[in-house]
Structure 1
């Protein structure tokens, strides 16, 4: 039995009184794992382990630590006693409640006490290079904030707008690329190098920024992980059609709403000053036992703030200040004044390139991306139309007529003759390959292949190319006739595989009529598995649900067993024959034959009590 058995007994008793939600909150906050925990005594021991306590203290700010340290140094203080011992004003009641909820201190009848292992660890902190209990209370924060002058703010706003515009454009490219081909995660999390490179090339950003931009898109619920990999969500389509500044508004509101309370408080307090070294110094003071952990978190949020133009050069921009102080709409208005004006006309050139003299309106950009490849993305973006990009557009539902209408609407230079020929030729060639679904009842001849889809064409030479194309080997295409190949994969898998390989493929229904297939977007409807905390609470409840509600004999026996082995003094409540409850201060020595033997500390004599008459066991002094 651990040396802190008395604390374990007291904590186990309190844990048993918590409801499921309180337990789940505690287990999640303390990051308790299921392994080896069978009951509330095991849970109490796990929570009072030195490493677990240190981990919990490392995530607390100095005001909370000061309250816990004060409780550990004073004899059973009240909230008023704790407040009187602190030199700086704080919401002591809230901090005490938070510490109780984290199972770092206990409360009884309006008084507080620190669990012995918590007191011992805080006492040892100076030897670990951490502040003493006195230093936690008295040490002042670092010096004043570094304010920003107006001249510097002009340059900061310009830089932040450039970065914000670039990020919204990069995320549009990310969504387009993931709609074309999902990105598969690694088993250990994150994206593999091939996908990182592919997405980085599509977004025209350094490889180091891909993961951060991917995280921004996930936070804004524009992408989600499905069985196929990372895909755009249904909300992504609406986002793509918004103006650039409205796109930015969605991203920064998601960033701000996902800030944890401690990070939000840190950044909000510094909405009008530089972050950089002064922020890191303050973090080191505020989180003395978790400075490295907290610095990493601040770095992630401040890095994303720079990408989004909330800050530039470690300083909040004008739109960033509005966001940090809680006015997202004012932030959007401020950024709108900094963003370049959008255009709705382009130059279509004879070399099949398309030049936008400014940021293209998102509605037109989305349509143009469907039939052209993006070559460069900046204030003046360039696109290139190829046979492959036109085929992709036709496969996504565009027609020769809709493509001509779009280019006529957008082009300041009309449709050059080389492009006119290419559109006509591609449209005529499109559908030379047809992909359809095989229905077993109507296609019995394909049953031997286990086929689920077919590819047909009048061009036997083109079908022969498909059959020997090694880049299509994953589709398992097998000849089943002169004009037909079959595959064991579904129609959409084969269709998109051929489309990505730049073949002139069209999908058709059972009647042979062309249909448009859409890539499936993430649905966000997957069932959420129970968390470790929920599973552990269920396990603890299963272990106690069969106990009688009033006495819980198994629970009482376990408490007494702990007291015997640890030689603890406990208060035992006994129901007398006349119905009275009598409390004895006992040191249990043995349990046998349904009876408890114990030393009565007040009367200084041995007592033997029937277990069936014991109604409660509590730690001495509780």
Structure 2
């Protein structure tokens, strides 16, 4: 019969051992040498704590029941004792919880003699189920009172109202409170005098300013819990939220619309940073004023802008670059700019662009919900600042969405109900993560992973884990879940359009997401007014001049509108283009500081007389030439602001057509954070680990039984002085064993360099190899002679 923890693990069939490794995969990272090492790891504090973190509230309560019912002398409990303590719930639920604990080896041994793994007491509360320690452990007078059940009831019933309130609070747990030094602590002192509460002290700590501590003994707590039960309120089933149901198609449609808005807003934020980069603060991050500017440019609130900035940075679309400081020659300053990857991202389809953002959000170790809050030193937390870094953010985000993933399609539960569900599923892990979970739900809604409060179909694909396939049984090359999400989202998004609708008021309606080529043309010739499923642009004199500046001619603009518009082009638009083209280039500027020339002397006279241009210090040097000490760029800007349409020219008199210079930050590699914890073992990989443990266990036990000469040859520590056997002596022992057909202990070095020992019966010795049967005669083994280190006949 198995008596030790390792023996119990060793006696498990391969299926049960594999189930343990699946439930506790940290036990095989790295793979232990044998089952004894596995047993040591399974009882360690870290492994037990990780296992407890994945258990639900009811299972943890049953574990507390096992701790409460342990016998004082043997530290053993039984399934019947646990069932009696948890009598308020169905026995099948309690047995199922016990089985979960035994499968994970947090409880081990037969049902009539269960034992709790020792590390459980080290990583959990010292007061299981909120109950104090036994009375005989705390105080002999209290133990005497508890032994007389009738007297204990009379004493409790005689307690004053204030003392009874104290008892009720301590009975609910935790069972420890402060004695107090003021007169208002009189009820507690009455309880201490009656030996219902026991004064205790905190070892190694200074005296508390509010007095010593008192503890409610376990037996008194059980008496006070006669209405709620010894373990308190037990909930064997999860508190499923009463979620209203939505049509899944409506959920997907709403989510798809939000994905388009998220992509558009992200592009608007990055374009605003490309036009006017934001400076990196000395303390790190983005300034509050810059964040407000970006929020206004994207048409979202500041919390939404913070999320988009954080996601764009995590996706590698935003980065830092250096620029010179004009006020301090030679000094540089870091600024935020879109990266080169942004240009490639912008040219891709909407569905792919969204998956880049969603994948970055799921894996980034940033918590955007903290932006705008204050840290422990009462300092504001800025976007992209180090203070918003949270290593547990990806796991909290995934836990929040997994709770939605487990519900029916179209279920729209309230966030508070989801938090209550998470608190039941993994209470140890959910404690302290409420802010992270709420931030996860808010981010999922803004990015379109959820729609109308429910998880979308393409959002489920983003969260799904692909199982190993026949072509990849070890799961070494898992499929990218985002590829399926791209395909699903593509079916929901409107198809890109290549046409526009020009209205009589010079507005341009794009009835859907524009194709990249059409979007580039609209950026050059029109001003955006509104975005959405159908975006609206407006053609203005300034936008036409901008198009002419970058190289379009009047004929090109007429051609674009005739080719793209599904409605007749208004005559007013044609007049606007022709009028702007006729005026465009009527004035020419160059460097003198700068000069201005025109064949129209009256036009130059008009410019010279314009009081708005006096800051340019223009003067006439010829009937057709004006000069200014100001730079060409300032001259052109001032003239355009005053309603003129000049163009620059080079030294040969040719017009200089320029596009705005695009600045980009260096390419960044997005930081991808893998899901926390070891991967789940499946299929052949799991079977291989179990087989490796079994082989290692056999080899270790054989090495322990090997003679002292073999162990010395293997380099193992042996008592006393032992000479290492020579190779010729080992060969002589093997030759004699072949002739006598007796068993020998063989020490050898395998192909991995490990030293092993095995008891075998030699069959033949030739061609540099030893062929021998194992000790049970079930299989034939081959050993290279040069790898054999020792051979000793079985005694």
**Pairwise TM-score range, normalised by the shorter structure:** 0.5 to 0.7
- How far apart in 1 are the matches of 2:530 and 2:566? 20
Does 2:398 match 1:264?
A: yes
Which residue is 1:522 aligned to?
A: 664
**Match of residue 254, structure 1, among 360, 371, 394:** 360
Q: What is the distance in 2 between the residues matched to 1:176 and 1:485?
A: 33
- What aligned pairs does 1:149-548 form with structure 2 within 5 A after superposition? 151-184=246-279, 195-196=290-291, 198-227=293-322, 229-258=335-364, 260-268=394-402, 270-273=404-407, 276-284=415-423, 294-326=433-465, 327-431=481-585, 454-458=593-597, 459=604, 462=607, 482-487=626-631, 504=645, 506=647, 513=654, 514-524=656-666
Of 40, 44, 53, the match for 1:62? 53
- Secondary structure of the residue aligned to 1:382 is strand
Does residue 129 of structure 2 align to residue 87 of structure 1?
Answer: no
Name the SS of the counterpart of 1:457 in structure 2: strand
Q: Does the CA contact (< 8 Å) of 2:461 and 2:485 recur in 1?
A: yes
2:509–2:536 contact (8 Å) kept in structure 1:
yes
Write the distance in 2 (CA, Å) between the matches of 1:64 and 1:397. Answer: 67
User: CA 1:185–1:323 in structure 2 vs 1: closer, same or farther (change >3 Å)?
Assistant: same
Aligned to 1:54: none
Give the conservation status (yes or no) of the 8 Å contact 2:496–2:515. Answer: yes
Q: Distance in 1 between matches of 2:246 and 2:573?
A: 49
- Equivalents in 1 of 2:581, 2:296: separation in Å? 29
Secondary structure of 1:483 counterpart: strand
Deviation at 1:365, TM superposition (A): 2.3
Residues 487-526 of structure 1: CA deviation (Å, up to 9, x unaligned): 5xxx889988988998746555565641424433322259
Assess if the C-alpha contact under 8 Å between 2:316 and 2:667 holds in 1: no
Determine helix, strand or coil for the equivalent of 1:333.
Answer: helix
**Structure ID, larger Rg:** 2
Q: What residue number does 2:141 align with?
A: none
Query: Structure 1: 5+ residue runs without aligned partners?
Result: 1-57, 71-83, 93-110, 439-445, 447-453, 470-476, 529-622
Residue matched to 1:580: none
Residue 538 of structure 1 aligns with which residue? none
Work out whether residues 356 and 382 of structure 1, in 8 Å CA contact, stay in contact via their aligned partners in 2. yes
Length-normalised TM-score, structure 2: 0.42
Q: Which moved more, 1:284-293 or 1:305-314?
A: 284-293
User: Are 2:445 and 2:453, in contact at CA under 8 Å, matched by a contact in 1?
Assistant: yes
Q: Distance in 2 between matches of 1:506 and 1:88?
A: 83
Q: What is the CA distance between 1:467 and its match in structure 2? A: 5.4
Structure-2 change in CA distance of 1:369 and 1:277 (3 Å): same
Give the superposition deviation at 1:319: 1.1
User: Structure 2: where are the runs of 5+ without partners?
Assistant: 1-48, 65-97, 107-116, 133-169, 176-217, 219-232, 324-334, 365-392, 466-480, 598-603, 671-795
State the secondary structure of the residue aligned to 2:537: strand
Task: Tell me how far 1:307 sits from its aligned partner.
Answer: 1.6
What is the CA–CA distance in structure 1 between the aligned matches of 2:462 and 2:252, rounded to whole Å?
14
Q: Deviations over 1:253-304 (max 9, x none)?
A: 3333437245335524642425623432255467868868522222333222
CA contact (8 A) 1:460 1:483 kept: no
- Counterparts in 2 of 1:290 and 1:486: CA distance versus 1, 3 Å: farther
**1:55-96 C-alpha deviation (Å, 9 max, x unpaired):** xxx999835999xx99xxxxxxxxxxxxx999376699xxxx
Q: Distance in 2 between matches of 1:141 and 1:373?
A: 61
Superimposed CA distance per residue, residues 214-261 of structure 1 (whole angstroms, 9 cap, x where no aligned partner): 333333333334457443332323333333333323322333343724
Q: Distance in 1 between matches of 2:321 and 2:634?
A: 15
Cα contact 1:148–1:272 (8 A) shared by 2: no
Tell me the distance in 1 between the aligned counterparts of 2:634 and 2:494.
Answer: 41
1 CA distance for matches of 2:640 and 2:119? 69
1:558 corresponding residue in structure 2: none
Secondary structure at the residue paired with 2:405? coil
Alpha-carbon separation, structure 2, partners of 1:494 and 1:430 = 15
CA distance in 2, matches of 1:378, 1:418: 27
Alignment of 1:1-12 (within 5 A): none
Are 2:404 and 2:454, in contact at CA under 8 Å, matched by a contact in 1? no
**1:342 Cα offset (Å):** 3.2
Moved more, 374-383 or 262-271: 262-271
Deviation of 1:310 after TM superposition, in Å, equals: 0.8
For residues 640 and 292 of structure 2, the distance between their equivalents in structure 1, rounded to whole angstroms, comes to 21
- After superposition, the Cα gap between the structure-2 partners of 1:466 and 1:154, relative to the gap in structure 1 and judged at 3 Å, is same
Pair 214,279 (structure 1): closer, same or farther in 2 beyond 3 Å: same
CA shift, 1:389, in A, is 1.7
Deviations 1:523-563 (A, max 9, x none): 225999xxxxxxxxxxxxxxxxxxxxxxxxxxxxxxxxxxx
Indicate if the aligned counterparts of 1:390 and 1:426 stay in contact, CA closer than 8 A: yes
Alignment coverage as a number of residue pairs: 411
Contact kept, 8 Å, 1:283 with 1:295, in 2: the verdict is: no
User: 2:428, 2:638 → 1: CA distance?
Assistant: 53
Higher RCO by CA contacts (8 Å cutoff, separation 6 or greater): 1
Conservation of the 8 A alpha-carbon contact between 1:241 and 1:366 = no
For 1:498 and 1:124, locate their aligned partners in 2 and report how far apart those are by CA, in whole Å: 81
Contact 1:391/1:502 (8 A) holds in 2: no
Work out whether residues 249 and 332 of structure 1, in 8 Å CA contact, stay in contact via their aligned partners in 2. Answer: yes
Query: Take 1:500 and 1:256, find their aligned partners in 2: how far apart are those partners?
Result: 46
Change (3 A) 1:499 1:354: same
CA RMSD of aligned residues (A): 5.3
